[in-house]
């Protein structure tokens, strides 16, 4: 049988019994169901859930991801001592982390979505939120894997993961805000759009907002935003860039895995 | 005795001079055209138009106290080439007609029904379809426009006119009409003392309601929805806007209700929902904004610094991206006793009023007002943190724009 | 068997392995010994392909290292302390390794000898350290590779299990296969080892039979002979004679 799928199956079997993963899925289930329960419509729930997703998904993927990679270190060494190529082992290992993480989110948030909003309004926003959450899970799991593979000191690695989380969810936007204020006299639409593409958390946020009425507020600032965000092409570009944000750290992590000494 | 003399004698015997008679227009009847019947009509007569399609040169009613009434919805067709009906006499009633298809002209403001230099007209229960202008009151005082259906399918502001258009027409009553797809749904210019109630104005190319230089007007129980730019009222005094619904005007220049240079008046009991800006106050002073609901708007209220002494009270703010925004720290409008869904205070003395003041202007709203591109950060977690910090240490938000008595429960 | 020539490895400015050339015979147990930080683990990892040598070459049973790692068919590896994913069953771990090496001849003897059948459905996370080490050993011996690399194999095993493992090692030797073993329990090495390779500061200071080592150090027991080697290394490093074996030496060696 294919080595990737063998290693992946073992990883899935392991994390399927992991209580943190279960708690993560259950947490999203409870929050999402609760938002619907208290009379939220599809778009309102998507908006309320957006900040939870933007904060929690990267945090869990980064912290759980680094700890998981560190914890599997010895097992990976044992597997590496078997007659298997490194590349396939890496893919199996990574998918064994990324699939349970994104799956737990997708199941936890997706079941209430399907249950309440299958035919209701805001289906597009909820779908965008699911896509964004899954993409963030994969992207930050890849970043976490990369960090853990290049930092042997585990405490330092987890610290670095937390720093990345803080940088992407808060500091980066603070920088954007500062730039918007400092260079207010210049035409800023294009640079700010580029800045949005430079952070997966911002991209995920913009992707969800494009599916909601409030995105018109962005159009408020100029036709460029409306043209970029308001169209199917804009959504496509956001999704594609998010995919790039999954692929790039994954490529770095894979390269590191191929080259490093265990 | 000549035949003419006998006919005259007979007429005087059968019909006394002041008694009204019905002149029936019909394909097979005595009058084949409306124009012919109107030419024969005397003051007080009724011209009854039976079902059918009438393609005539522009019809002019020049006789006072005439009623032009359709039976079975006769169609008056302008064939895309001309104005259809002009009322040019006092006390004329037009009812039950389908008036359609003036076509577009860049030279004249063609109207389906135009009332010109006439008083006390009654335009009711007509279907006014696909005209450049629907019903046009031009120097027509004390008219009633009631229960009409005015529909156009214009594609741009340039190729469509207004639904119900008033120009120098004081004392009008615009009631229970349904206007859709025109440039401006209902338009007032230099027309004071009007009462506009119970209308629905939607899908306008520009404004659902647009009035300028029209003092002392009242607008009540109307619904304005999905108009491209919402509703704009300008350069007027003493307006009362109450119990209307302003719904779903989204876009970069769309407002639920835009007020510019309005001096004195009342905005009460309205519902603003799903607009990019609920209410926009520019240079408008001494307004009472009371008991309105602001729900699910981008900005519930934008109050510019040049809007002075406007007083917000008893309003409900819920689900808005921004509650209140302003362009300067020196704002002089006041907020008192409103309900805010974002309020997190407590009420220890249980008098229904929060013990902690509420600052409805979020720091981010202030930043965005000065640096619009910062809006890309809408709903960012960083912005949530920023606003939370500002709530704890309010140093930048305007001190004037504070609700010192925020309500603990929604007022309605 | 391993044939390694001029293996060199640096970490930054630190020379971890300095031109190490070593032959591990077939049908023999070779003890790899040396103080902490001498490069033993690095050498093992290079042979396993876990780390890469900066220079030098090696072959295992005639097969050279390849990118796909196929040469590792010739190796069974027992790490010092295996940590399997906590939520896998013992069965899952064994099945995974079996599936990763399809077509190789199996050896389920240790699975039976350690009575692992009763543990098969337990989660690894619930196992005692000893049982986990039994699984670890069973995984290493699950096939019939020509080379077994055992890193502190008896650590954590009870005396009976350790006895079973030692018997297994002797059996492998009897079958003409080779075993490379590291251990801090020198009496255990004395029982098993035919050859000794002594690493210090990345230099291979001795490689040869136990008998040759005893002769060279003029000691009667392996433990004393290795202590003598370490002593001479220390005195060489300090460039002065050291009359007594330092008091810390056995403790230091035992601890890690």
Q: Smallest CA–CA separation between A94 and chain C, in Å?
A: 14
pLDDT of residue B1: 47
Q: What is the spatial distance between Cα B377 and Cα B374, in angstroms, rounded to a whole number? A: 6
Kind and range of the H or E element at B373? none
At residue B162, the pLDDT reads 95
Summarised one tens digit per residue, pLDDT across range B363-393 is 888 888 888 788 888 888 898 888 888 777 7
Q: Identify all chain A residues contacting C69, using CB atoms and an 8 Å cutoff.
A: 80, 82-86
Residue C135 near residue C116 (C-beta atoms within 8 A): yes
Task: Give chain A's radius of gyration (CA, Å).
Answer: 19
Q: Residue C252: is its pLDDT beyond 50?
A: no
Residue A56 has pLDDT above 90, yes or no: yes
Please state, rounded to an integer, the average pLDDT across all residues of chain A.
87
Structure tokens at A237: 């570009």
Structure tokens at C253: 């060696």
> CB–CB of A82 and C68 under 8 A?
no
Distance, in angstroms, between B230 CA and closest chain A CA?
14
- The predicted-structure confidence for B388-411, as pLDDT tens digits, reads as follows 887 777 776 767 688 999 999 998
* Cβ proximity of B212 and B261 under 8 Å: no
pLDDT for A186-212, tens place per residue? Answer: 777 778 888 888 999 999 998 888 777
pLDDT of B4 reads 56
**Chain A partners of B299 at a C-beta cutoff of 8 Å?**
217
pLDDT at B207: 95
Do residue A71 and residue C87 have CB atoms under 8 angstroms apart?
Answer: no
Residue B94 dihedral angles phi and psi, to the nearest 5°: -125, 125
Average pLDDT over residues B112-129: 96
Banded pLDDT at C190 (limits 50, 70, 90)? confident
Q: Tell me, yes or no, if C75 comes closer than 8 A to chain A by beta carbon.
A: yes
pLDDT (average), residues B177-192: 95
CA distance A219 to A228: 9
pLDDT in tens, A145-179: 999 999 989 999 999 999 999 999 999 999 998 88
List of chains touching C (3+ CB pairs within 8 A): A
State the virtual CA torsion across C183, C188, C192, C198 in degrees, nearest 10: 40
Half-sphere exposure at residue C24, Cβ-oriented, CA atoms within 13 angstroms: 31
What angle is formed at CA B10 by the lines to CA B6 and CA B12, rounded to 5 degrees?
120
| Residues B373, A44: C-beta atoms closer than 8 Å | no
- Selection from B307, B310, B271, B308 nearest residue B289 by Cα: B310
Better-scored residue on pLDDT, A219 or C10: C10
Between CA C83 and CA C86 the distance in angstroms is 8
Q: Which residues pair with C32 in a beta bridge?
A: C197
Confidence tier at A118 by pLDDT (50, 70, 90) = low
Q: What is the pLDDT of residues A67-89, one digit of tens each?
A: 999 999 889 999 988 988 899 99
pLDDT in tens, C104-129: 888 888 888 888 888 889 998 898 88
Terminal Cα distance for chain B, rounded: 81
10 Å CB burial of residue C86 (0-12, 13-18, 19+) is: middle
Percent of chain B with pLDDT over 90: 68
Band of pLDDT at residue A39, cut at 50, 70 and 90: low
Residue of A nearest to B379 (CA): A51
The span from the CA of C34 to the CA of B324, in Å, is 75
B contact set with A (CB within 8 A): 250-252, 274, 276, 296, 298-299, 319, 321, 367, 370-386
Residues B38, B68 contacting (CB under 8 angstroms): yes
pLDDT at B8: 53
- Other beta carbons within 10 Å of B14: 9
Which pLDDT tens digit goes with each residue over C22-31? 888 888 899 9
- Chain B residues touching residue A180 (CB < 8 angstroms): 367, 371, 373-374, 376-377
Q: Which CATH superfamily is domain C2-255 in?
A: P-loop containing nucleotide triphosphate hydrolases (3.40.50.300)
d(CA B365, CA C127): 58
Q: Do C50 and A85 touch (CB under 8 A)?
A: no
Q: What would the two tokens of residue C154 be?
A: 């008896």
Q: Is C70 on the interface with A (CB under 8 A)?
A: yes
Q: Which CATH superfamily groups domain B17-228?
A: Single-stranded right-handed beta-helix, Pectin lyase-like (2.160.20.10)
* pLDDT at residue A262, as a whole number: 83
Residue pair B58/B82 in contact by the 8 Å Cβ criterion: yes
**Opening angle at CA A241, ends A236 and A246, nearest 5:** 125
Nearest to A137, CA basis, from A69, A87, A201, A50: A201
> Which stretches of chain A sit within 8 Å of chain C by CB?
1, 3, 6-7, 9-11, 13-18, 71-75, 77-86, 261-262
Query: Residue A84 carries which DSSP code?
Result: -
Of residues A27 and B153, the one with the higher pLDDT is A27
Does residue C246 register a pLDDT over 50?
Answer: no
In this prediction, residue C14 carries a pLDDT of 81
For residue A164 the two structure tokens come to 């990345």
Q: What Å distances lie between residue B257 and A37, A104, B216, B312, B321, CA to CA? A: 33, 45, 17, 15, 17
pLDDT digits over B73-86, tens only? 999 999 999 999 99
Q: Is the pLDDT of residue B61 over 90?
A: yes
Pairwise pLDDT comparison (B29 vs B46), residue with the higher score: B46
Average pLDDT over residues A202-224: 70
How many Å apart are CA C45 and CA C149, to the nearest integer? 10
User: Residue B338 carries which DSSP code?
Assistant: -
Given this model, what pLDDT does residue B209 score? 96
Confidence at residue A192, expressed as pLDDT on a 0 to 100 scale = 83
Q: Is the pLDDT of residue C154 over 90?
A: no
Which residue in chain B is spatially nearest to A43 when comparing CA positions?
A: B296
What is the CB-side half-sphere exposure of residue A172 using CA atoms within 13 A? Answer: 22
Cβ distance A219 to B373 less than 8 Å, yes or no, reads no
Q: What is the pLDDT of residue C109?
A: 83
Q: List CB contacts (< 8 A) between B380 and chain A.
A: 54, 173, 202, 205
Give the one of B250, B381, B385 whose C-beta lies nearest to A213's C-beta.
B250
What is the structure's pLDDT at C254? 36
**Contact residues, chain A, for C82 at CB < 8 Å:** 74-75, 78
**B276 vs A202, A209, A217: nearest CB:** A217
CB of C59 within 8 A of CB of C2? yes
Burial annotation A177-193 (CB, 10 A radius, 16+ → b, else e): bebbeeeeeeebbeebb
**Average pLDDT over every residue of C55-70:** 81
Q: Tell me the pairing of strands C55-60 and C63-64.
A: antiparallel
Q: B371, B332, B356: which is closest to B405 by C-alpha?
A: B356
Q: Which residues are bridge partners to B407 per DSSP?
A: B353
> What pLDDT sits at residue C242?
45
pLDDT in tens, B250-286: 877 889 999 999 999 999 999 999 898 999 999 999 9
Please state, in angstroms and rounded to a whole number, the distance separating the CA atoms of residues C114 and C110: 6
Q: Does A169 touch chain B (CB under 8 A)?
A: yes
pLDDT confidence of residue B157: 67
Residue C12: Cβ within 10 Å count: 6
Quote the CA–CA distance of B388 and B60 in Å, as a whole number.
Answer: 67
Higher per-residue confidence, C184 vs A69: A69
Phi, psi of B318 (to 5 degrees): -145, 135
Tokens of B315: 């309003």
The reported pLDDT for the residue numbered A253 is 95
* pLDDT score for B314: 96
Q: Where are the domains of chain B?
A: 17-228, 270-412
Q: pLDDT tens for residues C85-97?
A: 888 999 999 999 9
Cβ neighbours around A83 below 10 Å, total: 20
Nearest-10 crossing angle of helices C248-255, C222-238:
110
Mean pLDDT of C127-139: 90
Give ipTM to 2 decimals. Answer: 0.82
- Given a cut of 90, whether residue B295 has pLDDT beyond it is yes
In chain B, % of residues over pLDDT 70:
93
Place of tokens 């899908």: B203
Percent helix, strand, coil in chain A, to 5, is 85, 0, 15
Give the distance, in angstroms, between the CA of residue C97 and the centroid of all CA atoms in the same chain.
20
The whole-number pLDDT of residue B259 equals: 95
């Amino acid at each position: 049988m294919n080595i990737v799928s063998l290693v992946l199956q073992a990883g899935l079997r392991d994390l399927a019994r992991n209580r943190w993963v279960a708690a993560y899925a259950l947490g999203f289930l409870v929050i999402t169901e609760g938002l619907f329960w208290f009379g939220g419509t599809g778009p309102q729930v998507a908006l309320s859930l957006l900040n939870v997703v933007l904060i929690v998904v990267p945090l869990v993927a980064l912290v759980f991801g680094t700890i998981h990679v560190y914890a599997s270190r010895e097992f990976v060494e044992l597997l590496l001592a078997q007659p298997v190529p490194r590349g396939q082992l890496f893919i199996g290992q990574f998918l064994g982390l990324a699939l349970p993480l994104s799956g737990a989110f997708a199941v936890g948030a997706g079941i209430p979505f399907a249950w309440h909003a299958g035919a209701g309004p805001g289906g597009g926003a909820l779908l965008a939120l699911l896509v964004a959450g899954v993409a963030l899970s994969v992207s930050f799991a890849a970043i976490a894997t990369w960090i853990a593979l290049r930092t042997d000191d585990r405490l330092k690695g987890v610290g670095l993961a937390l720093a990345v989380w803080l940088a992407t969810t808060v500091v980066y936007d603070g920088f954007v805000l500062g730039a918007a204020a400092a260079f207010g006299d210049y035409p800023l639409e294009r640079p700010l759009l580029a800045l949005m593409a430079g952070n997966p958390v911002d991209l995920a946020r913009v992707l969800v907002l494009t599916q909601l009425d409030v995105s018109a507020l962005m159009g408020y600032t100029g036709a460029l935003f409306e043209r970029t965000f308001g169209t199917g092409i804009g959504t496509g570009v956001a999704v594609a860039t998010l995919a790039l944000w999954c692929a790039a750290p994954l490529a770095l992590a894979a390269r590191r895995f191929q080259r490093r000494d265990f | 005795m000549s035949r003419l003399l006998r006919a005259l004698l007979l007429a005087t015997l059968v019909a006394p001079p002041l008694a009204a008679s019905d002149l029936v227009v019909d394909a097979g009847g005595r009058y084949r055209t409306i124009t012919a019947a109107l030419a024969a009509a005397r003051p007080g007569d009724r011209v009854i138009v039976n079902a059918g399609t009438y393609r005539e040169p522009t019809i002019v009613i020049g006789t006072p106290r005439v009623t032009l009434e359709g039976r079975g919805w006769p169609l008056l067709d302008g064939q895309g080439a001309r104005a259809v009906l002009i009322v040019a006499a006092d006390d004329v009633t037009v009812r039950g007609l389908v008036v359609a298809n003036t076509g577009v002209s860049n030279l004249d403001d063609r109207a389906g029904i135009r009332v010109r230099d006439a008083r006390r007209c009654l335009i009711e229960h007509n279907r006014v379809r696909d005209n450049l202008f629907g019903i046009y009151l031009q120097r027509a005082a004390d008219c009633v426009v009631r229960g009409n259906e005015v529909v156009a399918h214009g594609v741009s502001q340039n190729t469509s006119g207004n639904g119900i258009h008033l120009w120098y027409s004081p004392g009008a009553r615009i009631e229970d009409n349904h206007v859709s797809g025109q440039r401006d749904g209902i338009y007032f210019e230099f027309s004071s003392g009007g009462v506009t109630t119970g209308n629905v104005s939607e899908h306008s190319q520009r404004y659902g309601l647009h009035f300028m230089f029209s003092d002392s007007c009242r607008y009540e129980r109307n619904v304005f929805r999905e108009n491209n730019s919402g509703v704009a009222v300008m350069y007027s005094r003493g307006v009362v806007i109450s119990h209307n619904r302003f719904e779903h005007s989204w876009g970069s220049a769309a407002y639920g209700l835009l007020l510019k240079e309005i001096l004195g008046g009342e905005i009460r009991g309205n519902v603003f929902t799903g607009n990019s800006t609920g209410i926009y106050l520019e240079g408008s002073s001494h307004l009472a904004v009371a008991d309105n609901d602001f729900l699910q708007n981008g900005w519930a209220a934008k109050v510019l610094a040049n809007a002075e002494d406007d007083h917000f009270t008893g309003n409900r703010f819920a689900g808005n991206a921004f509650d209140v925004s302003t362009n300067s720290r020196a704002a002089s409008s006041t907020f008192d006793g409103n309900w805010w869904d974002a309020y997190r205070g407590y009420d220890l003395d249980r008098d229904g009023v929060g013990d902690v003041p509420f600052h409805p202007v979020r720091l981010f709203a202030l930043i965005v007002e000065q640096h619009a591109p910062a809006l890309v950060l809408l709903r960012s977690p960083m912005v949530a943190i920023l606003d939370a910090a500002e709530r704890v240490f309010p140093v930048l938000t305007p001190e004037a724009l504070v609700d010192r008595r925020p309500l603990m429960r929604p007022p309605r | 068997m391993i044939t390694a020539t001029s293996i060199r490895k640096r970490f930054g400015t630190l020379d971890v392995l300095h031109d190490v050339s070593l032959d591990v015979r077939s049908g023999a147990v070779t003890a790899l010994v040396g103080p902490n930080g001498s490069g033993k683990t690095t050498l093992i990892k290079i042979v396993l392909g876990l780390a890469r040598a900066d220079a030098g070459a090696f072959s295992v049973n005639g097969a050279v290292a390849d990118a796909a790692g196929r040469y590792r068919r010739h190796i069974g590896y027992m790490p010092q302390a295996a940590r399997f994913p906590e939520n896998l069953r013992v069965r899952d771990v064994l099945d995974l390794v079996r599936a990763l090496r399809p077509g190789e001849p199996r050896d389920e003897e240790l699975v039976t000898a350690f009575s692992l059948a009763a543990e098969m459905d337990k989660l690894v996370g619930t196992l005692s350290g000893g049982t986990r080490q039994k699984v670890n050993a069973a995984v290493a011996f699950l096939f019939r590779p020509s080379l077994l690399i055992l890193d502190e194999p008896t650590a954590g095993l009870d005396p009976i299990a350790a006895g079973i493992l030692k018997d297994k090692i002797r059996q492998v030797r009897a079958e003409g296969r080779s075993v490379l073993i590291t251990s801090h329990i020198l009496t255990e090495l004395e029982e098993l080892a035919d050859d000794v390779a002594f690493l210090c500061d990345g230099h291979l200071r001795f490689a040869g039979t136990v008998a040759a080592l005893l002769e060279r150090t003029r000691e009667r027991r392996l433990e004393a002979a290795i202590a003598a080697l370490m002593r001479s290394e220390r005195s060489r490093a300090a460039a002065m004679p050291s009359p007594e074996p330092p008091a810390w030496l056995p403790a230091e060696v035992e601890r890690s």
